[in-house]
């Protein structure tokens, strides 16, 4: 069942782009933007990441930590971060275990074909680990405005 606003955000253990363990609970006491996106270096995902990058200082001033997550490998994340000068960590979830916790791995349709994939979704989590907002209709080029609105 999908997490809802007002519920505790599911904790997880995964690897960041450097192969380091990362958990949601390590960010207790900070607000977290946990955004799920389909694939590194695609137009929409790049626009979303760059929008967050361009507004990163504002997000930091408001007390947010930004974490992106996709099923891409750690190496692919490293390349995406370097190419776009991203100042935040990306989580590698190739087995979509974290995606499953957040119900963002779903059946999708594209050009008449059905497949399983990431549904672009952002969870805003407060200092106590409670989900304060869920953004399902992400505007990739103006995502920060949706978060801090």
Checking 99-108 for CB contacts under 8 A at 24+ apart, the result is 99/36, 99/69, 99/71, 101/3, 101/10, 101/12, 102/2, 102/3, 102/10, 102/34, 102/36, 103/1, 103/2, 103/3, 104/36
- Identify the pLDDT of residue 110: 85
Q: Which of 34, 45, 98, 124 is catalytic?
A: 45
7-148 folds as Glutaredoxin (3.40.30)
The residues spanned by each domain of the chain are 7-148
Q: Are 28 and 50 in contact (CB under 8 A)?
A: no
What is the rounded CA–CA span in Å between residue 133 and residue 99?
A: 17
Q: Give the number of other Cβ atoms within 10 Å of residue 57's Cβ.
A: 10
What is the rounded CA–CA span in Å between residue 51 and residue 62?
A: 16
- Identify the pLDDT of residue 149: 81
- Identify the pLDDT of residue 51: 98
Q: Are 113 and 91 in contact (CB under 8 A)?
A: no
Q: Are 49 and 81 in contact (CB under 8 A)?
A: no
Which of helix, strand or coil describes residue 6? coil
What is the rounded CA–CA span in Å between residue 18 and residue 98?
A: 18
**Which residue stretches of the chain are H helix?**
43-54, 56-61, 74-84, 97-101, 143-148
Q: Are 100 and 111 in contact (CB under 8 A)?
A: no
In the chain, which stretches have pLDDT less than 50? Answer: none
45 given a catalytic annotation: yes
């Amino acid at each position: 069942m999908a997490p809802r606003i007002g519920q505790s955000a599911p904790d997880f253990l995964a690897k960041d782009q450097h192969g380091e363990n990362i958990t949601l609970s390590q960010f207790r006491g900070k607000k977290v933007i946990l955004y799920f996106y389909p694939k590194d270096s695609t137009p929409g995902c790049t626009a979303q990441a760059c929008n967050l990058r361009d507004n990163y200082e504002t997000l930091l001033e408001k007390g947010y930590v930004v974490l992106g997550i996709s099923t891409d490998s750690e190496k692919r994340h490293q390349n995406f971060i370097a190419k776009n000068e991203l100042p935040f960590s990306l989580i590698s979830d190739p087995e979509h275990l974290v995606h499953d916790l957040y119900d963002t791995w779903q059946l999708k349709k594209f050009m008449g074909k059905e497949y399983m994939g990431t549904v672009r979704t952002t969870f805003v989590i407060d200092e106590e680990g409670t989900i304060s907002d869920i953004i399902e209709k992400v505007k990739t080029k103006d995502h920060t405005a949706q978060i801090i609105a």
